[in-house]
């Protein structure tokens, strides 16, 4: 059961989006998120929705995978909607509900906020669904490379991230094994209040930590034995090189940004109060 957790949740498929350089995907996702916050009218959101739909379509990721990413934020979404709906003053009062007044401004903010959050999560999960965790760390490493000059250990950080990603499934499996072993010895992990449950975790965490340290030690030795000595002088088996399609993607993104920005601010497109 613990193994069902998927981290990075990559969805393998042969699509144009999958083939893009990870840097393109990271930068475009960031730009897209920024664009969502510049809109002042409905036109911008329509634009953003169409763009996102096209990207999802191109990525060949099934719709239900994308929806799965939204599930964890439903509660957050509800809270945001309620707060915005009832507590934003300004504009005409549309209706009153017990003590709360729903204003025009409140309704507008609530709706915009919901759309924004949904698009934001969808956009971000589209990136993680179409990029392997390793490609993501590679992309980040290359993008953050200039920070090397101010002594930020960029290579090391990305190495740590990719090793962590490799060991997550191994450690999850190990946790599962230890839990079973302790249950077989009569450990009760399910019942009791929070404090008792926390105490019951100790016999699981201690062996897990011991084993994690042993693994770390072994791995460090194996890396040294294979001549690992940090980022300097290292070549890459799969260097990141921009292709034609990556430049095209940047161009498309630039067009989207300009179009969405101007539409979202200046296009007089209104439906009722939105």
Which residues contribute to the site for other proteins (CB under 8 A)?
132-134, 162-163, 165-166, 169-170, 214-215, 218-219, 221-229, 233-239
Least distance CB 172 / other proteins (angstroms)? 10
| Closer by beta carbon to other proteins, 93 or else 164 | 164
CA torsion, points 261, 267, 269, 274, in degrees to nearest 10?
A: 50
| Closer by beta carbon to other proteins, 87 or else 212 | 212
Least distance CB 171 / other proteins (angstroms)? 10
Least distance CB 2 / other proteins (angstroms)? 15
| Closer by beta carbon to other proteins, 215 or else 245 | 215
Least distance CB 143 / other proteins (angstroms)? 20
| Closer by beta carbon to other proteins, 41 or else 130 | 130
Query: Between 194-225 and 154-184, two packed helices, what is the crossing angle to 10 degrees?
Result: 130
| Closer by beta carbon to other proteins, 194 or else 225 | 225
Name the residue with tokens 């016999």.
203
Longest dimension (CA), the chain: 72
CA angle 255, 258, 259 (to 5 degrees): 80
H helix intervals, the chain: 16-19, 22-36, 42-59, 63-70, 74-87, 104-130, 133-144, 154-184, 194-225, 244-266
Least distance CB 246 / other proteins (angstroms)? 18
């Amino acid at each position: 059961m613990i193994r069902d957790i998927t981290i990075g949740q990559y969805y393998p498929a042969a699509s144009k989006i999958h083939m893009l350089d990870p840097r393109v995907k990271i930068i475009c996702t960031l730009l897209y998120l920024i664009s969502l916050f510049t809109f002042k009218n409905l036109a911008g959101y329509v634009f953003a929705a169409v763009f996102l739909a096209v990207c999802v379509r191109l990525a060949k990721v099934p719709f239900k995978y994308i929806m799965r990413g939204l599930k964890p934020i439903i509660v957050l979404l509800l809270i945001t909607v309620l707060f915005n709906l009832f507590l934003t003053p300004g504009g005409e009062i549309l209706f009153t509900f017990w003590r709360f007044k729903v204003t025009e401004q409140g309704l507008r903010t609530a709706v915009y906020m919901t759309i924004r959050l949904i698009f934001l999560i969808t956009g971000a999960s589209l990136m993680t669904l179409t990029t392997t965790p390793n490609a993501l760390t590679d992309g980040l490493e290359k993008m953050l490379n200039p920070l090397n000059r101010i002594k930020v250990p960029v290579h090391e950080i990305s190495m740590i991230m990719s090793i962590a990603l490799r060991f997550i499934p191994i450690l999850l499996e190990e946790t599962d094994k230890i839990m079973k072993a302790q249950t077989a010895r009569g450990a009760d992990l399910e019942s009791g209040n929070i404090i008792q449950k926390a105490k019951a975790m100790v016999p699981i965490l201690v062996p897990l930590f011991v084993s994690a340290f042993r693994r770390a030690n072994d791995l460090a030795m194996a890396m040294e034995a294979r001549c690992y000595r940090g980022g300097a002088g290292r070549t890459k088996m799969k260097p990141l090189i921009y292709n034609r399609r990556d430049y095209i993607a940047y161009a498309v993104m630039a067009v989207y940004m300009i179009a969405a920005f101007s539409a979202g601010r200046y296009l007089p497109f209104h439906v009722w109060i939105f």
